[in-house]
């Protein structure tokens, strides 16, 4: 099965640090813009509602969601979550005080990957 969202080693290490600091009940939501730009934001479960959002998978054992409208735009891509240096301020995500930020990259699925996703009924 093709993963719709994956994480770099740096992102996985940061997730582990956040779990030690905040506990294991975290979740990710791909922001669609506004204050945080288009970024993968990490929250404590219960801080945001994801009832109508699309579950893309897990990274570092943490569920990852995206809004339905954002999913329609990005459904042909695999999201790759990485970490970049950032100087706090303006972020709602848990890693803000760490001096870094989760960063979303993407790549188009190959024709073969897309066919596999379609055959599995998850598109």
pTM check: above 0.85: yes
Q: Provide the token pair at 63.
A: 């569920």
Tell me which H or E stretch contains 65: strand 62-66
Please write the tens of the pLDDT for every residue from 57-73.
999 999 999 999 899 98
Q: Quick one: DSSP state of residue 93?
A: S
Please write the tens of the pLDDT for every residue from 79-118.
999 999 876 555 678 998 888 989 999 999 999 999 999 9
Residues 6+ apart with CB under 8 A from 98: 14, 17, 18
Q: Quick one: DSSP state of residue 34?
A: G
């Amino acid at each position: 099965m093709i993963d719709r969202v994956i994480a770099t080693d740096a992102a996985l290490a940061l997730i582990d640090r956040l779990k030690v600091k905040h506990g294991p009940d975290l979740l990710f939501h791909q922001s669609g813009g506004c204050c945080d730009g288009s970024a993968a934001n990490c929250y404590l479960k219960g801080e945001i509602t994801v009832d109508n959002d699309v579950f893309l998978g897990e990274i570092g054992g943490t569920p990852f969601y995206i809004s339905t409208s954002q999913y329609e735009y990005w459904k042909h891509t695999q999201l790759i979550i990485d970490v970049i240096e950032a100087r706090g301020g303006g972020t709602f995500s848990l890693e803000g005080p760490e001096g870094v930020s989760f960063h979303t990259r993407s790549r188009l699925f190959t024709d073969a990957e897309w066919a596999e996703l379609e055959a599995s009924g998850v598109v």
